[in-house]
Structure 1
Amino acid sequence: MSIYFEFDVGSTGRRFRRAVEEDRKEVETILSDDSYYEKVFGKVDVGCLIEISTLSICMINENKDVIGFASFCDHPNVPGIDPSDWETWMRNMYQKYYLSRNTLFIHAMGCHNSVEEFFLAEAMMTVFNNDAYLQQIVLMPPPDCPREFIMKHPIFKKHNISRYCAKREDDKEHGYHYFYATNRQDICPKLRIRRAVEEDNGDIVNILDKNNQRLRDLYGNYYISEVIGRHPEMNRKIIVADLNDRVGGVMCLNSDIDYAKLQNTYELDPYHGLQKATPLEKEQTKRKNTLLRAFGYRNFKPEFLQIFCI
């Protein structure tokens, strides 16, 4: 699983990145400050998790200091369970048909008290957004873990995180074995992309006003409706992202492009000015290449160009 995280801190002052060996001491300090984490995950080897886990991430603040840590693996943190055959155990114990290719288990996590309200929610959202194949994230606490320790993070109250108990007869009386699972749809809902209609004018205008209120001042309150209904011949199309019958995002597409202005503003020569080259232009470009003139087109190899440039 390859997931890239930016190291630059965003406008909110928080950003996730991959954990590295240099973060070990800071993470150990975070985990040792609160006995809650040891009761939920036991004693963990932070260095080992950073090295061999499927994904370990850190939340950093504006000073690039580590303020949160979470480690995910593709097998449950249950002693005695074969990491390569946990799917069979999961089906027999809980009757859940999870797969290792789309499921991650939380093996450790911790954060400062200042970010406790949103750390776990943002961590899950970050992982889901950066891995399209991931469908569920599972937290499997030990059987004797008090429920109030799990409910410490508000995400368990705000989102639809399910609690599943073991289906075996000897576990039904006490609910001894259980786990929590959150699905992608609960954290990152799937949007429906469609063409905008005139009834979407209000929602679209409100979204655009957050970035630029001048559009409403220039064109009025119904300029989106006019573009959609009164000018169907224009090469401009508006699409929206629909979530629960409400517009959550908007994009305006236009096939009329001022290539000359873009070429004067940006350096687009490597991309042929964003235009498709004609056979004549391709031939002219080929003849301008000094390497081709010196060594011949048939003897020219791309590997030579790379070596020559280096």
Structure 2
Amino acid sequence: MIRRRFGSKNIDDLLVNKRHQKCVPKNLNRFKAPLVSGDFPSRVSLIEEKSSIKEEESFNISEKYLGKPPITYWRRAESSDVDAVCKLVEKSHGFVKELFTEPDVPDLIEQQLISFTSVFAYPNIPAVPSFEWYQWFDNAYRITGSNPRNTLFIHYIGWESNYYSDFLRLTLETLFLEFNFLSHLIIIKPPKVKIPSIIADNFIQALPKDAQMFACDLSSIQTVLLCLKYSIMEHLKIRLAMVEDHDDLMPIVDQHTERLKQLYGDYCIAEIIEYPGTNDRKTLVCESMGYAIGFMNINRAIDFELLNTQFDLGGFHGLRKPTEEDTKPSDINLDDEDKPIRLPSKVNPTMDV
């Protein structure tokens, strides 16, 4: 089985284009590699790095960062990071080694590393085949909604003790932002392993289905640590538009087109919202932090002629229901020379078959 690795030897090829930075949210500017969506990885490793600050400069920022440089960005781990990751593993806490066992760092995957995260598309249980984990997982645990298309498993996490309280949540945000399909992150906790507080704050523990049937210590059985996307990422609110949203929406409209304002005036959005005409038209607004940041106008009136001129919809009958004329069979007249040849009803018994 071939496992796909993620990473680039030429990290400069993955730099975010500066002219697109204005379209990226502020909290994404720290990424050195662009966001990727739509691909389904077999595994991915993330590296956190801290800024290199001179000693004389560190005294000036000691109060702000409490003696440690700030986290600057995240990138995908590369093969050149093996030595640095091995040193990071040696510095890891005892419970980290108990939780994830001793890693094979070259198999899991320049500068100053402060954390390392390795994520696979299957659980780190040797007895469970990587291509059939879902059947075992569904039978063993009470988790709904998890499937091979929206789930990744964390096989290893290592970090510097100075960043104990900072790195994990930002790493989880990075994974959920980079892979839009991802909604479940899972850690398999071995029996008799204590869950560190930093993981307990971001993950919930799921017990096996038959755990309640046995009067045993729950810490002595294998459990699942689950992190859901909605617990890490903020959700945008979708609601019906109001006239008061006009001031927030007009700058968005002006960025894309001026024709709407030329045809309907400066208050075109307010008029569309206030006078929808019939119940066949609705206007929706996407809201964040009390501001309308996007809108959609939905109408049941469809211009089928325009759609058929712009797209090849013959396979879908032009998005229309067939009429009687369309379903009526056509008359076919065959000339004598085109008539089918009749075969003899009996076969000559002397003929070799």
Quote how far apart the aligned CAs of 1:7 are: 5.5
Structure with bigger gyration radius: 2
Deviations 1:29-53 (A, max 9, x none): 1111122321110001011011xxx
TM-score, normalization by structure 1: 0.56
Q: Once structures 1 and 2 are overlaid, which stretch shifts more, 112-121 or 35-44?
A: 112-121
Which residue of the other structure, out of 125, 131, 134, is the alignment partner of 1:84? 131
Deviation larger for 24-33 or 166-175: 166-175
2:156: which partner in 1? 108
Contact 2:30 2:73 (8 Å CA) reproduced:
yes
Give 1:233's match in structure 2, choosing from 253, 259, 268.
Answer: 268
Could you tell me how far 1:122 is from its partner in structure 2?
Answer: 1.0
SS at match of 2:224: strand
Are positions 1:42 and 2:101 aligned together? yes
- 1:25 maps onto 2:83 in alignment: yes
Counterparts of 1:1-310 in structure 2, within 5 Å, are: 10=30, 13-34=71-92, 35-50=94-109, 64-97=111-144, 98-147=146-195, 149=196, 151-153=197-199, 156-157=200-201, 159=202, 161-168=203-210, 173-175=216-218, 176-193=221-238, 197=242, 231-233=266-268, 241-242=286-287, 246-247=289-290, 250=293
Q: Which moved more, 1:233-242 or 1:138-147?
A: 233-242
Per-residue deviation, residues 175-233 of structure 1 (Å, max 9, x unmatched) = 2121111111111233235676465699x7xxx9xxxxxxxxxxxxxxxxxxxxx9423
Measured on the aligned residues, the alpha-carbon RMSD in Å equals 3.8
Unmatched tracts of structure 2, length 5 or more = 17-28, 32-69, 252-264, 274-283, 297-353
Offset of residue 96 of structure 1: 2.9
SS of 2:170's partner is helix
**Residues 183 and 234 of structure 1, relative CA distance in 2, 3 Å threshold:** closer
Unaligned regions of 5+ residues in structure 1, if any? 51-59, 209-229, 254-310
Q: TM-score, normalised by structure 2?
A: 0.50
The answer as to whether partners of 2:86 and 2:105 remain within 8 angstroms in 1 is yes
Equivalenced residue count is 209
The alpha carbon displacement at 1:252 in A equals 9.8
What amino acid is aligned across from residue 186 of structure 1 in structure 2? S
Tell me how far 1:102 sits from its aligned partner: 1.3
Q: Whose RCO is larger (CA < 8 A, sep 6+)?
A: 2
